[in-house]
């Protein structure tokens, strides 16, 4: 794609040691389209490569489970826990790279909000606190989540080791980096959240203790694969609690970001969980959580939430709020969004039918085929 760079999102950027052709990234989006054993499929390889062909500089995988114990969150979720998973992902990463993109594996442990795990009948969490809300039908769940079993310190150690082992498999699979999923209500975020973490040990209590597991995991991952990019995704909102905000506001954020900055992470990714960035990023004093993350850590920050809007994207980048932009719904509706922005072409609006009744790659493909018919 040859163009005169006009929009700042089209400018090349270096993330850690990774050179990217622009500042557009595909956000991690669960697709529940892997084989039953967690191996990525050829259909998934086509799905991810399409974003790279459309001009996205960076593609972040959907949340990928790290072990065959309690980490899996959904049936047909991909993993990085076995050799078969590595072989499947290797096809995916090769396709993205051949189309000029770079790819990061997002590593995830679902914890208490797992709603589909063939390896375990029970769920685990920081404390035996039943998650708010109900399971998500679009991902194959229904009814309330059960109360999890509280993790022991030995099990926590195993979880840290599982993330590190999955990172090494990501390297074998050809990924350019790994992103630790500490957002959106999953296990690491459950430790960070005050009402789901009632522990009395070194992982519970003040926010400086509740962020400790995330810091341990990111450190272990960075040490396991020093040649790869290492990032961490954080959020205030959750898939099962859209209104939650860190109770200490800016003070909590500064503690959290400072802890992450000491881990060896190369970047932060601040998620909005389907909300607009303006809604979730604004602080009481008028600043933004993403700009604060940049200042406290000195690291590049990826902002998320409504970044398909060229005006908002321009403001975020030129106003010092973030360094890169990740797109979910906007990318689904416009897998060639960077090319469209470069050519000043109109964008397609996201249609919820793309992810209904189930959030699969096949469903999105059928939606596109029906539009073209």
Residues labelled catalytic: 186
- For 303, list phi and psi in degrees, rounded to 5: -100, 150
* Long-range pairs of 217-221 with CB within 8 A, sequence gap ≥ 24: 217/159, 217/160, 217/163, 217/180, 217/182, 217/188, 218/180, 218/182, 218/260, 218/263, 218/264, 218/265, 219/263, 219/264, 220/160, 220/161, 220/163, 220/164, 221/107, 221/163, 221/164, 221/167, 221/178, 221/180
Q: Of 119, 43, 54, give the one whose Cα is nearest residue 333.
A: 54
CB 233 within 8 A of CB 269: yes
Report residue 313 as tokens: 């994207």
Find the Cα–Cα–Cα–Cα dihedral 289, 190, 106, 364, rounded to 10°.
-90
Instruction: Name the token pair of 269.
Output: 């990714």
Please check whether residue 103 is in contact with residue 175, taking contact to mean a CB–CB distance below 8 angstroms: yes
Cα distance between residue 331 and residue 308, in whole Å: 8
Pairwise CA distance, residues 185 & 33, whole Å: 22
Q: What is the dihedral of CA 193, 194, 197, 198, to 10 degrees?
A: 180
The rounded distance, in Å, linking the Cα atoms of 51 and 96 is: 8
Coil, helix or strand for 178?
strand
Rounded Cα gap, residues 317 and 321, in angstroms: 6
Hey, CA dihedral for 111, 114, 120, 122, is it positive or negative?
positive
């Amino acid at each position: 794609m040859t163009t005169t760079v006009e929009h700042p999102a089209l400018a090349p950027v270096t993330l850690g040691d990774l050179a990217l052709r622009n500042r557009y990234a595909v956000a991690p989006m669960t697709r529940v389209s892997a084989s039953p054993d967690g191996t990525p499929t050829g259909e998934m390889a086509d799905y991810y490569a399409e974003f790279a062909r459309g001009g996205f500089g960076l593609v972040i995988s959907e949340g990928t489970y790290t072990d065959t114990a309690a980490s899996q969150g959904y049936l047909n979720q991909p993993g990085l826990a076995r050799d078969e998973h590595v072989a499947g992902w290797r096809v995916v990463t090769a396709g993205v790279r051949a189309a000029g993109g770079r790819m990061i594996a997002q590593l995830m442990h679902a914890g208490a909000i797992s709603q589909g795990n063939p390896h375990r009948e029970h769920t685990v969490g920081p404390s035996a606190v039943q998650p708010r809300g109900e399971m998500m039908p679009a991902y194959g769940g229904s009814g309330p989540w059960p109360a999890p079993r509280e993790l022991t310190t030995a099990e926590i150690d195993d979880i840290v080791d599982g993330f590190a082992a999955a990172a090494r498999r990501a390297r074998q699979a050809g990924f350019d980096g790994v992103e630790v999923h500490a957002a959106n209500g999953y296990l690491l975020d459950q430790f960070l959240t005050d009402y789901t973490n009632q522990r009395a040990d070194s992982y519970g209590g003040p926010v400086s203790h509740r962020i400790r597991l995330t810091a341990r995991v990111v450190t272990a991952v960075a040490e396991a694969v020093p040649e790869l990019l290492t990032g961490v995704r954080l959020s205030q909102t959750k898939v099962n609690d859209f209104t939650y905000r860190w109770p200490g506001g800016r003070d909590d954020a500064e503690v959290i970001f400072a802890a992450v900055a000491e881990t060896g992470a190369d970047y932060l990714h601040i998620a909005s969980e389907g909300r607009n960035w303006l809604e979730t990023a604004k602080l009481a004093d008028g600043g933004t959580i993403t700009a604060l993350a940049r200042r406290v850590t000195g690291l590049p920050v990826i902002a998320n939430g409504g970044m398909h809007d060229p005006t908002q994207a321009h403001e975020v980048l030129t106003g010092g709020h973030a360094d890169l932009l990740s797109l979910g719904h906007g990318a689904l509706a416009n897998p060639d969004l960077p090319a469209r922005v470069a050519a000043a072409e109109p964008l397609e609006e996201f249609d919820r039918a793309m992810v209904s009744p189930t959030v699969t790659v096949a469903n999105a493909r059928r939606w596109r085929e029906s539009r073209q018919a």
